[in-house]
């Protein structure tokens, strides 16, 4: 490991490691590298730091990962992570009387001592949290070789496949729906399906198959954790005397869950289907793209090809027909597809058959960046096993490709290549609203120019059978739908007036008198205070007791509900919410909140860090459960002002100074972040300025959004001829 990695794991600056090497003769000698960039043996450095008592505040999970990374081989590393999770499930501190799902055999996972050590860490820091940390680091390390479905996309796909309207009414009993993912990877789509159906009161029976044994092992362990959480919650709710309790598992003697444990198999789904007799309620799948060796020759007479033998170059069409073959009549499948599958000439006959028999119900164009490959605007295909039902005469086409997050969105991290990511709330709203309307109205679905359209099947059955949404959805606004331009002008004017009012006292920060203040320049190196004011770090404040750190958790993820929270519910704040400056995106019933989870209090400074970026907010009176990768810094009110702390941590220079560059992705170490050491009264002066800046930032962002909406509306109205290009009597009109 490098000196920079030693510094990051020890929670100190790089200079401290150099000082240790000079001052301590027993500091480990370099085990490799060069004089300018030495490498040290991980075990020797860790042993030295422990003997010196310098690991008191270090996160034990951070020290685990380098040992796994040192295994070198990707699959050996992944199987070791799976072995840790399996060991925790079989005999860890969260042992419950619930039956354990079948877990794969983990042949020679790694050094058993490493697995045992990780299990010990899990006892202190949480079994599921430790497993998820290691699984996430494994995916990050091998991101170029292993593609995973982003969580927001998984939620959209499962919402299409398992709509809310299918949930049983209160008190009604219904069998658990069966959800199949024939290319399940590490289980993200099945995890989303479990959370969604659990929120509906009928947790799904999960079936998955994956050709990569390591991914299959990780998926099995991950889903076993989440299954136990959901089943344990259901068991607790059904146990006598458990009403209102918030325990994470069922009491002894609670009944077994009313739904089967997850069943994850390893193997090539197209060549060796592990579930040939299954007829699932829903299939969700992110299949591999552009495979040439998918089994075309040996599967030529397979009975799944009821819509035609897939061409050798159309492996995605083979996955589509496999999904349909594993659905019950009326069941729904949602597959992520490359956009070329909607128009390639080789697949036109099968696309035609899917349309004519009513199997293909919708094609959705997603924004670029929705999933790997990020530069391509991928599609979703929504399919239904038609059974004996008459074929519908319309196909829903949805174009959400333009739903990109605004470049100026407050607190939003900007990718290194300058692209913005999808505006997921807008994508979800556009797609789900269109699908619900189409499900209820069919051919009478109202056309929304630029958004969606129900197209007659007969109009699509030409020589190309091109199902690309943008080719069939008219752009702009429809006749008679002139936007409320006056209202948009009013919105922009109001936002600009508020921004101007807030800017009045902020202008003084740039005056000659204001520039002498120690913290006025965000770009000045954090270690050099212009006024000579000493600095301290978050790590120092934690050690002194003036600050306490409360990390978020992923333990509640299987239980989180989406949508508007009912009265009395507790909101759930994710890292994505904090980084985007958004409100909490999920909620939990108060009775399901475990006392061990971090819930914000007024005055907490909530922090989320991303590569090259840190976002903060000061918690108000509404409590929120923190998700993974989110931390609450709880200051001693007699020593620290929360707004001073929050503003200091957002400084760009602070983020650069606290970032590590031991890999291609810089990570921000929260404990290394710095702030001026000022008396409390002075902190409050700075805190008030930071608070005004926060309000100003949100107002400017609101003005930018209002201006963008106005420009788009004017452009659409002009293009549709709904407004004249010049007012009556203006120069040039006569």
CATH code for position 611? 3.90.220.20
Domains in the chain, number = 4
Q: Is residue 504 part of a domain?
A: yes
Residue where a domain terminates, one of 672, 696, 716: 672
Quote the CA–CA distance of 439 and 728 in Å, as a whole number: 45
Residue 474, number of CB atoms within 10 A of its CB: 12
Q: Is residue 116 part of a domain?
A: no
Q: Is the dihedral of CA 660, 665, 668, 669 positive or negative?
A: negative
Q: What is the rounded average pLDDT for all residues in the chain?
A: 80
If asked whether residues 187 and 336 sit together in one domain, one would say yes
Quote the CA–CA distance of 177 and 448 in Å, as a whole number: 33
Quote the CA–CA distance of 96 and 395 in Å, as a whole number: 48
If asked whether residues 684 and 663 sit together in one domain, one would say no
Contact partners, residue 264, CB within 8 Å, separation at least 6: 104, 184, 187, 206, 207, 208, 209, 210, 216, 219, 220, 223
36-50, 293-307, 705-719: segment of lowest average pLDDT: 36-50
- Per-residue CA distances from 695 to 285, 499, 663, 687, 722 (Å): 43, 9, 36, 12, 37
What's the pLDDT score for residue 729? 60
Helix (H, G, I), strand (E, B) or coil at 550: strand
If asked whether residues 187 and 323 sit together in one domain, one would say yes
If asked whether residues 458 and 375 sit together in one domain, one would say yes
If asked whether residues 507 and 545 sit together in one domain, one would say no
| Predicted confidence (pLDDT) per residue in 94-151, tens digit | 444 445 555 555 545 556 788 888 888 888 888 888 899 899 888 888 877 888 899 9
Q: Cα 181–184–187 angle (5° rounding)?
A: 110
Q: Is residue 260 part of a domain?
A: no
pTM over cut 0.85: no
For residue 281, pLDDT beyond 70: yes
More confident residue, 696 or 611: 696
If asked whether residues 572 and 700 sit together in one domain, one would say no
Quote the CA–CA distance of 337 and 365 in Å, as a whole number: 10
309-313, 405-409, 689-693: segment of lowest average pLDDT: 405-409
If asked whether residues 461 and 494 sit together in one domain, one would say no
- Residue with tokens 């009993």, as numbered in its chain: 173
If asked whether residues 339 and 463 sit together in one domain, one would say yes
Quote the CA–CA distance of 105 and 94 in Å, as a whole number: 21
Give me 320's structure tokens.
């589509």
DSSP string, 317-337: HHHHHHHHHTEEEEEEEEEEE
DSSP 454: E
Helix (H, G, I), strand (E, B) or coil at 173: coil
Q: Is residue 131 part of a domain?
A: no
What's the pLDDT score for residue 156? 95
Residue where a domain terminates, one of 672, 696, 717: 672
| Predicted confidence (pLDDT) per residue in 381-433, tens digit | 999 999 888 888 999 999 998 887 654 443 343 343 334 578 899 999 999 99
Residue 700 structural domain: 486-518+678-727
What's the pLDDT score for residue 366? 94
Q: How confident is the model at residue 705 (pLDDT cuts 50, 70, 90)?
A: confident
If asked whether residues 504 and 581 sit together in one domain, one would say no
Q: How confident is the model at residue 174 (pLDDT cuts 50, 70, 90)?
A: low
Quote the CA–CA distance of 155 and 92 in Å, as a whole number: 30
| Predicted confidence (pLDDT) per residue in 177-188, tens digit | 999 999 999 999
Mean pLDDT across 207-213: 94
- Residues shown for the chain: 734
For residue 620, pLDDT beyond 60: yes
For residue 518, pLDDT beyond 50: no
- Residue with tokens 């909607």, as numbered in its chain: 342
If asked whether residues 663 and 685 sit together in one domain, one would say no
Q: pLDDT over 90 for what percent of the chain?
A: 34
DSSP string, 611-680: TTEEEEEE--SS-EEE-TTEEEEEE-TTT--HHHHHHHHT-HHHHHHHEE-SSSS-EE-GGG-EEE---H
Q: What is the 3-state secondary structure (H, E, C) of 504-549?
A: HHHHHHHCCCHHHCCCCCCCCCCCCCCCCCCEEEHHHHHHHCCEEE
Mean pLDDT across 25-44: 80
What's the pLDDT score for residue 532? 64
Helix (H, G, I), strand (E, B) or coil at 338: coil
Give me 542's structure tokens.
């934690």
Phi, psi of 293 (to 5 degrees): -100, 65
For residue 273, pLDDT beyond 60: yes
What's the pLDDT score for residue 247? 32
- Nearest alpha carbon to residue 351 among 156, 188, 359, 673: 359
Quote the CA–CA distance of 482 and 720 in Å, as a whole number: 9
């Amino acid at each position: 490991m490098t000196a920079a990695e030693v510094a990051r794991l020890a929670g100190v600056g790089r200079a401290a490691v150099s000082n240790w090497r000079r001052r301590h003769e027993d500091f480990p000698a370099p085990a490799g590298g060069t004089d300018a960039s030495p490498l040290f043996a991980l075990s020797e450095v860790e042993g030295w730091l422990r003997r010196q008592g310098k690991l008191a505040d270090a996160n034990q999970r951070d020290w685990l990962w380098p040992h796994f990374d040192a295994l070198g081989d990707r699959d050996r590393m992944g199987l070791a992570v799976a072995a840790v999770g399996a060991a925790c499930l079989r005999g860890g501190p969260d042992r419950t009387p619930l039956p354990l799902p079948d877990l794969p055999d983990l042949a020679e996972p790694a050094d058993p001592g490493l697995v045992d050590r990780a299990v010990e860490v899990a006892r202190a820091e949480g079994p599921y949290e430790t497993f998820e940390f290691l699984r996430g680091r494994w995916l990050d390390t091998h991101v170029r070789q292993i593609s995973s479905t982003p969580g927001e996309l998984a939620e959209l796909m499962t919402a299409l496949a398992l709509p809310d309207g299918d949930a049983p009414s209160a008190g009604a009993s219904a069998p658990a729906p069966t959800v199949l993912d024939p290319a399940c990877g590490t289980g993200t789509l099945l995890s989303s399906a479990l959370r969604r159906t659990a929120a509906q009161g009928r947790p799904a029976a999960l079936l998955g198959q994956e050709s990569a044994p390591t991914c299959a092992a990780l998926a099995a362990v991950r889903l076993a954790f989440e299954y136990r959480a959901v089943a344990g919650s259901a068991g607790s709710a059904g146990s006598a005397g458990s009403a209102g309790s918030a325990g994470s598992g069922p009491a002894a003697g609670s009944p077994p869950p009313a739904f089967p444990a997850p069943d994850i198999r390893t193997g090539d789904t197209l060549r060796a289907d592990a579930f040939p007799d299954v007829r699932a309620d829903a299939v969700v799948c992110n299949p591999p793209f552009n495979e040439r060796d998918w089994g075309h020759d040996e599967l030529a007479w397979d009975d799944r090809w009821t819509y035609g033998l897939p061409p050798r170059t159309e492996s995605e069409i083979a996955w589509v027909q496999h999904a349909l073959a594993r659905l019950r009549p009326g069941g729904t499948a949602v597959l992520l597809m490359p956009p070329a599958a909607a128009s390639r000439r080789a697949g036109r006959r099968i696309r035609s058959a899917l349309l004519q028999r009513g199997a293909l119900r919708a094609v959705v164009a997603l924004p670029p960046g929705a999933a790997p490959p990020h530069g391509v605007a991928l599609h979703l295909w929504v399919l239904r096993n038609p059974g004996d039902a008459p074929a519908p005469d319309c196909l829903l086409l949805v174009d959400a490709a333009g739903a990109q997050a605004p470049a100026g969105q407050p607190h939003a991290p900007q990718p290194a290549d300058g692209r913005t990511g999808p505006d997921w709330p807008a994508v979800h709203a556009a797609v789900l609203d269109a699908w619900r309307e189409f499900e209820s109205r069919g051919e009478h679905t109202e056309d929304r120019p630029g958004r969606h359209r129900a197209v007659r099947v007969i109009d699509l059955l030409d020589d190309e059978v091109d199902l690309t949404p943008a080719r069939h959805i008219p752009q702009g606004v429809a006749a008679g739908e002139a936007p409320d331009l006056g209202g948009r002008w009013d919105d922009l004017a109001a936002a600009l007036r508020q921004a101007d009012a807030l800017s009045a006292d902020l202008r003084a920060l740039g005056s000659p008198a204001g520039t002498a203040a120690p913290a006025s320049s965000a770009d000045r190196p954090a270690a050099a205070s212009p006024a000579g004011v000493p600095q301290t770090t978050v790590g120092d404040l934690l050690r002194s007791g003036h600050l306490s750190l409360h990390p978020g958790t992923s333990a509640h993820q299987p239980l989180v509900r989406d949508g508007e929270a009912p009265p009395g519910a507790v909101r759930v704040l994710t890292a994505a919410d904090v980084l985007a400056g958004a409100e909490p995106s999920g909620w939990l019933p108060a009775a399901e909140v475990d006392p061990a989870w971090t819930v914000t209090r007024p005055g907490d400074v909530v922090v989320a860090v991303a590569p090259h970026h840190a976002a903060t907010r000061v918690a108000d009176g509404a409590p929120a459960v923190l998700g993974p990768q989110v931390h609450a810094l709880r200051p001693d009110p007699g020593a620290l002002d929360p707004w001073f702390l929050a503003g200091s941590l957002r400084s760009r220079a602070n983020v650069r100074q606290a970032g590590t560059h031991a890999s291609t992705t810089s990570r921000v170490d929260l404990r290394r972040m710095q702030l001026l050491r000022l008396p409390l009264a002075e902190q409050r002066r700075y805190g008030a300025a930071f608070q005004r800046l926060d309000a100003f930032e949100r107002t400017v962002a609101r003005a930018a959004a209002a201006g963008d909406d106005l420009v788009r509306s004017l452009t659409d109205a002009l293009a549709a001829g709904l407004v004249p290009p010049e007012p009556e009597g203006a120069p040039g009109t006569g």
